[in-house]
Structure 1
Amino acid sequence: MKKDDKNLEDLITDFLSKVESGTELLQKKFGTRNILRLWRSKQIERCGEITDGIQYELHGVGCAIHFPSESVDFDYGSNNRIDGFDVWRLYIYASDRPSKYKKYCDKKIVEKEFKEYIASGRIEKMSPSDNLYIRVNPDLAAK
């Protein structure tokens, strides 16, 4: 594989890393990584600023974090988990970074490889009630 070739594992790792860095900022500002309850109880606005140049935008069961040059949009999973992903989130994330993930700007490719990851046991549903998926063994995936 060429150095510039990115695979689905790279995309998942990058996506989750960006979610992690964004939710760390939420933790510092609001005292929690999951700010949905604050919004629903009207303690914060649906959209706002986290720090200079970084905004959040809450929706349904998720949050979009807009950094100065890129964004990440994720859903909170059961028990406030932030390590979930789905085809749509990965596709949108890749489409926001076309020079890095050109191949995955085609949703059909993301869907095909996602199904292969499910079939191979590399990812599984977070819980029966979630539409999010998680890595089965993230420690091995990082190696």
Structure 2
Amino acid sequence: MSDKNEALEILINDFISTVESGTLFFEREFGTRDIRRLWHTKAIKRCGKVTGGVKYELHGIGCFIHLPKETVDFDYGPNCEINGFDIWRLYNFSCDRPSKYKKYCDEETVEREFKEYVKLEKIKKMSAISNLYVLADSGDTD
């Protein structure tokens, strides 16, 4: 495997880990990692703050999380999954961390390597009804 693909995998794992960290605050505060239903039933506001100074902004099928030292924007999968990603989200995640992911602050680079990962079957569509992808060894099924 080439270095660039190993770096892409590092980026993907960092993205997923950051989403995991952020949604853990939701679980502690609200008893669930998927807080969209709470928003839709008006139990919580679209934007808010939880323990630890973590802020959230819900949108469509996703959420923008402002952690104390970083941010992440993700979409929930069709079955409330939090491990999905796409080119745009990886690119934005990189742009928020230019010193760590300078190479991926170029959207064409992210897209090219992402497509290579698809061809290598290292990543796959989360499901037929989702535009998100997951790591192929993540245990999700189509």
Confirm or deny a common fold (TM above 0.5).
yes
After superposing on structure 2, the runs of 4+ consecutive aligned residues of structure 1 that deviate more than 6 Å are none
Q: Does 1:66 align with 2:63?
A: no
Within 1, Cα distance between the matches of 2:57 and 2:51? Answer: 13
- 1:50 and 1:116 mapped to 2: Cα distance? 38
State the SS of the aligned residue for 2:64.
strand
What secondary structure, in the 3-state scheme, does the structure 1 residue paired with 2:82 have?
coil
Alignment-derived partner of residue 87 in structure 2:
87
Paired position in structure 1 for 2:53 = 53
Deviations 1:72-92 (A, max 9, x none): 010000211111000001000
Alignment-derived partner of residue 43 in structure 2: 43
Distance 1:86 1:115 in 2: 11
1:45-66 Cα shifts (integer Å, max 9, x gaps): 0000012421011000001110
Match of 1:18 in 2: 18
Question: How many residues matched?
Answer: 134
Structure 1 pair 138/79, CA: closer, same or farther in 2 (3 Å)?
Answer: closer
Percentage of pairs with the same residue: 58
Distance 1:126 1:52 in 2: 31
Contact 2:25/2:54 (8 A) holds in 1: no
C-alpha displacement at 1:42, in angstroms? 0.6
> In structure 2, what residue type is equivalent to 1:40?
H
1:138 CA displacement: 4.1
Q: TM-score, normalised by structure 1?
A: 0.90
CA RMSD of aligned residues (A): 1.2
Superposed displacement of residue 35, structure 1: 0.2
Instruction: Tell me which residue corresponds to 1:3.
Output: none
**Aligned partners of 2:138, 2:126: CA distance in 1, in Å?**
13
Q: SS at the partner of 1:79?
A: coil
2:129 alignment partner AA:
S
In the alignment, structure 2 segments of 5+ residues that lack a partner are 1-5
Q: TM-score, normalised by structure 2?
A: 0.91
**Equivalent residue letter for 2:113:** E
